[in-house]
Structure 1
Amino acid sequence: MRARSTLFTLYTELVYPDDTVWIGQLVHWMERLGFSEPAVRAAVSRSAARGWVIPERKGRRAYYRLSPRVYWQVRQVRRRLCEMHDAVWDGYWRILVYAVPEGLRSQRDKFRNELVLLGYGTPAAGVWVSPTADLEATRELVGYYGLEPYVEFFRAERVGAQPESRLVERAFHLEEAAERYRALNARMDALPPDPAPEDAFVNLVRLVHEARKVLFFDPGLPPELAPAGFDGRRTLQRFARVRKRLREAAEPILAEAAIT
């Protein structure tokens, strides 16, 4: 795990639903994961330079608050990892189309990289579809990148002659997700049955880190649309059980506050 990416795993698992944390607490957690204090402070500084976190001072202490867009991303990850429920498909597709000027290419590329997190796939250039995406969360994402003038939304019933599975095959490429789920299952298989608090803490963060990453490749299709043999939902259900067990075992560490 890299320091900067691990920071956002900590925000996701240990800080949320708050969006702000003292730098000393981040250092305390990260040192337990094997990172040095200079490496942590450098990662936080780089994140601040990119606008991902916003520095704040409270007395003599330095705090870092997630930017609204990054907090939005953390919220979506938490929703999918920790508030799982079987999505009920209403038979309608959420369709997003855009025509973004080349001058906004950077925003466009970042925007579409996050659409999968909401459950979108792309069957054709500039067209994204999802059976269950949250339209309010989609509007928020569009707003964060300032793309409102270039994006349209639709909710429509598919009337093509081909089965729904054909659209799923064209829009959603799940090979990378399947490979990452296999790795996630392998990590869970290797966990000790009764870890000490320190080991439980490390394994918890590493497990959440891997699970968080896989969501950017898996759109979370409802069961009736998921390809045969794709076990992403089952793996995430297992992850939820293992995460709960690790959090309970790591409670003495989670209850610690960094030395002031």
Structure 2
Amino acid sequence: MRARSTIFTLFVEYIYPERRARVRDLITMMEVLGFSEAAVRAALSRSAKRGWVVPERRGRIAYYALSNRVYWQVRQVRRRLYEARTSWDGRFLLVLPEGPKERGERERFRREMALLGYGSLQSGVYLGAGVDLAATQELLAFYGLSATLFRAEHLGPKEEVLRAFSLKEASAHYQTLFSSVPPVLEDPLLAFRTLTRLVHEMRKLLFLDPLLPPELLPPGFPGPSARERFLTLRETLYRQAEPFLKRLSLSPLTPGGITFRG
């Protein structure tokens, strides 16, 4: 876990729907995860230079707030991790964007399309099942891209479609997802560390697992059962981490139906 990426995970899991957090709270959480105060401040400073976060001060208290663009990314991660999936109508969304032309930006766009649940049929041709059209249009607007979009049915075997997605790689990651979960989690700090690492790994898995409708999944794919286990374990870990979370100046949270007040 790298510092900047871990800070993003903290915003996803503990700070949302707020978009700002006290620097002191971020340092406290990151220190529990094994990062020094200097490393946290350096990561926040680098993130600010990239425009990902914005430093703020209210009286004598220092904050960092997510930029509009990164806050949008947090919403997409939360939506895909925690919102119930709607039924699928059997049609795919096909997106043919005009660009990006620069290689680095093209790769960033590809990764963000993967975050939304898209696979790549071939270079510049994106395919999604049960994906969010509004989020897709917002992402295209962020990049200033025009695109041709189709809703269509696939007439061949599902194996042709599955080649567009990284399901084998996702499956390998799911197999080891819970291997580092300790058998006993009564310590609030250990529960917090375990929960954060699990969320961090699940967040990264969103770039590999498009969360396809059950009708499309290959036999034995571990994604749905792993996600169910993660959500159950998340609720337990929140209860066990509550004494630590209550020490922080976070807004009321309702993870897994449990309310914590900082």
Return the TM-score normalized by structure 1.
0.90
Superposition deviation, residue 194 in structure 1: 4.0
Match of 1:174 in 2: 167
Superposition deviation, residue 97 in structure 1: 0.4
CA contact (8 A) 2:188 2:243 kept: yes
42 and 11 in structure 1: CA distance in 2 versus 1, 3 angstrom threshold: same
**Would you say 1:157 and 2:150 are equivalent positions?**
no
Residue from 214, 219, 227 that aligns with 1:228 = 219
Q: 4+ residue runs of structure 1 moved beyond 4 angstroms? A: none
Superposition deviation, residue 101 in structure 1: 5.3
Alpha-carbon RMSD across the aligned residues, in angstroms, is 1.6
- Describe the superposition over 1:54-113 as per-residue Cα deviations: whole angstroms up to 9, x where unpaired: 122222322111112211111111112222x244210111110023153x4433221111
5+ residue gaps, structure 1: none
Match of 2:107 in 1: 109
Match of 1:81 in 2: 81
Aligned length: 249
What one-letter code is carried by the residue in structure 2 that aligns with 1:180?
Answer: H
CA contact (8 A) 1:87 1:222 kept: no
Match of 2:244 in 1: 253
SS of the residue corresponding to residue 6 of structure 1 reads: helix
What one-letter code is carried by the residue in structure 2 that aligns with 1:202?
Answer: R
- Describe the superposition over 1:34-62 as per-residue Cα deviations: whole angstroms up to 9, x where unpaired: 21111100000011111111122222322
What one-letter code is carried by the residue in structure 1 that aligns with 2:152?
Answer: A
5+ residue gaps, structure 2: 250-262
- Describe the superposition over 1:148-196 as per-residue Cα deviations: whole angstroms up to 9, x where unpaired: x3x22221223x3x2233222x211212211111121323xx4223421
Aligned residues with identical type, % of pairs: 51
1:40 & 1:86 partners in 2: Cα distance? 35
Return the TM-score normalized by structure 2.
0.90
Structure with higher RCO (Cα < 8 A, 6+ apart)? 1
